[in-house]
Structure 1
Amino acid sequence: MKIHHLRSATFVIESGEHFILIDPMLGEKGSLPPFSMVRFKLERNPTVDLPDNAERLLSKVTHALITHSQTFGFKPLQHSDHLDPAGERFLIEKNIPVITPLKDKSYLEKYGITVSHGIDDWQTLDFLDGQITAIPAQHGHGWIHKMMANGSGFFLALPNEPSIYISGDTVLTENVKRALTELKPDITVVAAGQAQMDVGQPLLMPTDEVMEFIKLSPGQVIANHMEALNHCPVDRPTLRQSLQAQNLSEKVFIPSDGDVLEFA
């Protein structure tokens, strides 16, 4: 298995002839509005371009997973850092089959995206001769997660590959802990940027929860969702310092945009 990190939460899982695109934010730098106007630096998103290898890699995509997209079915509130207009166009033009939380299925289909499966919390489906399981995600602490519309993480168990748990946009919950301790993924992916809006508590795990997530993970961890959005204050150097303080550096990969990680 190879993990091709593109940007923020967008990456591609390569397994044999299959290339699985996760949460496609594919637009040019600055093509989206700021997500924070006051709390953090006012800057349009994404704050960086896609890496040079993105076009070549995207030409190989065969499937896609979208952890979350809609809020109350209102297009202006779509989670564009996981599915932006460029990502939509790509999925539609290439007719890429998508798996997404069941509650998002009809919303995506309304805009012309091919949804092969809507998957419910803790449901397991057959996928690419293996299985995929949806893990509930809570998109924030406090009241704000109800406004953000929670999505799902995904646990993938593919033939002759290490298993992988993509936790998605979530804080550390009992469901997340259950996925780590019961499913025992070989690889876990954690969104570590600690995103926050101008009001409310963090939308993603704060650093202490990221550290606990890493300690609970049975195998290697990939940290993403950093240095591409103006509402994510935790950057790669800050995370590295936290890992060093907890003696966790050897367990965690922090890929740069365009990096490829290989797992046996």
Structure 2
Amino acid sequence: MAVSAFRPDRSAVVRRLRAAGCVYAEDEAELLLAAADTAETLAGLVARRVAGLPLEHLLGWAEFCGERIAVDAGVFVPRARTALLVDIAVAVTGPAAAVVDLCCGSGATTVALARRLAPRWLAAADVDPAAVACARRNLDPLAVEVFHGDLYEPLPVRWRGRLDLVLANAPYVPTAAVALMPPEARLHEAPVALDGGPDGLAVLRRVAEGAARWLAPGGHLVVEAGETQLDALGAVLTAVDLLPTVHRDDERDAIAVTARRPG
């Protein structure tokens, strides 16, 4: 007896997603339909999405800078606005650079840097073991090493004072504001990837202090921050003798801050 072909009802999926508050219901429906090969699989995916699970965790991947990046459950989902960090990093970094991507999460920004730069050394690091495992899946094919540890602590000491670029998509949401984030983030991503301490700058302060020691003269730190944090972050950077510049992209609703070590 022939098995009937799977014929999903796209409009019904769109309606369920829209009713659940999914802003891009049509696009999400297409992705879920493509990921399901049976009615049961599709029903499960839609039910979990309606329940609030991030689409990227359901699919197992996210699109970032034109790359499909594996994203495991619980790992920070790369945001489209963070592409500005990559654009700015590429713009300020010269050839054959030594590059480290801190707070790398899934490794999305590191993959983008590997594609767009020709570094003499490129590595990534994260304190979250789940993120490190995910990043290694994405970066092993590119022969990029991923270190497990707190910011600069796990990096080889031979690179101290020799890095041309430090990129860090560090957490910068103030602790009190984490509870106001969309449920997709606050319930399904690691808190360590979101919580930036009382004013959101606790991790960025440490990133800046370390950059002053790990960057070569003329090297750059590139980070993301919120509009209301720029004055305080600028003061942090200048206090450790780094020269900050703010870059905005209104279309992506993104802010990047570069800080150059003089020399």
**TM above 0.5:** no
Q: Which structure features the higher share of helix residues?
A: 2
TM-score, structure 1 as length reference = 0.39
Q: Which structure features the higher share of strand residues?
A: 1
